[in-house]
Amino acid sequence: MKQSSKADDVYATPRHVAIIMDGNGRWAQRRMLPRSHGHKAGVDALKKTVRAAREFGIEYLTLFSFSSENWSRPEGEINELFALLRLFIRRDLAELHNNNVCVRIIGSREGLPSDVLNLLVEAEILTQNNNAQTLVIAFNYGARDEIARTVKLIASKVVNDEITLDEIDPQIISDHMDTHDIPDPDMIIRTSGEKRLSNFLMWQAAYSELVFVDCLWPEFGKTDLSDCLVEYRNRSRTFGGLVKDTAS
Ligand code: IPE
Ligand code: IPE
Ligand code: MG
């Protein structure tokens, strides 16, 4: 069994958990229901998970809700996903705010319907001073898009003499990503049995523990999150170094 202590905090509760919430469509199809029912059930799982993460003391929870590649889905499905986001913010923002949750949105703000953009901004502004937990919603998010936007931003600062070429290093890049004020995820969970990142947090995932679970997202709940935390504690995080006991 792995020895851990309070000081050994890489084995404690992860500070930041990110989730690729996958399998809504298959959940519905298995029940002979339209995919939209799967997305609705997915929102219920999302709410349960936000609550459970708070109870487990997870400081940052990032949820992959809509990828920059999800635009390739049928228009009707995209409209349903946007409608669910609108409903979630309208109905649940007050509860999140009352629970002292800070909402942050990552992803491109280009191409979003203006009312959705306004709701996202409203959620960020209302909750910006909350500090019990940060809920990061990755919406219209793709890691390659984020990296491209970051490169553009840094290049424009070089052109304007705000940064020199020599100053560009991994820290400067991190400081210009959408996640500049959010620690890297300690653990990334993906449901539905798929084992890939699908363009999620590729820069930030350098040393994240990847946990793949077979259940479909609408089935995911507190017990599954708890199992993932156990799995995380059984991992050995060395960040390129050596396991403590073997270093001499
Ligand atoms: C995840 O479930 C939700 C989004 C990508 C928005 P899917 O819709 O990808 O469900 P499957 O993978 O088709 O089952
Ligand atoms: C990843 O799931 C995106 C979200 C969960 C929002 P997808 O279902 O879109 O990913 P692929 O197509 O299986 O890689
Ligand atoms: Mg999927």
- Asked if pLDDT for residue 129 goes beyond 70, the answer is yes
Catalytic residue among 8, 9, 24, 70: 70
Distance (Å, rounded) from C-alpha 62 to C-alpha 137? Answer: 6
List CB-based neighbours of ion ligand 3 within 5 Å.
Answer: 22
Determine whether 199 is an active site residue.
no
Alpha-carbon gap, residue 181 to 110, rounded angstroms: 21
Q: Does any ligand 1 atom lie closer than 6 A to the CB of residue 28?
A: no
State pLDDT tens for residues 231-241.
999 998 999 99
Per annotation, catalytic residue among 22, 145, 178, 224: 22
CATH architecture group of domain 16-142+184-233? 3-Layer(aba) Sandwich (3.40)
Q: Exposure of 38 by Cβ count < 10 A (0-12 exposed, 13-18 middle, 19+ buried)? A: buried
Rg (CA), the chain: 19
Q: Cα–Cα distance between 98 and 32 in angstroms, integer?
A: 38
Q: Which residues sit opposite 17 in a β-bridge?
A: 61, 187
| Predicted confidence (pLDDT) per residue in 161-178, tens digit | 999 999 999 999 999 999
Mean of pLDDT over the chain: 94
- Compute the average pLDDT of residues 49-73: 98
pLDDT at 12: 86
Q: Which atom of ligand 2 is nearest to the CA of 25?
A: 8
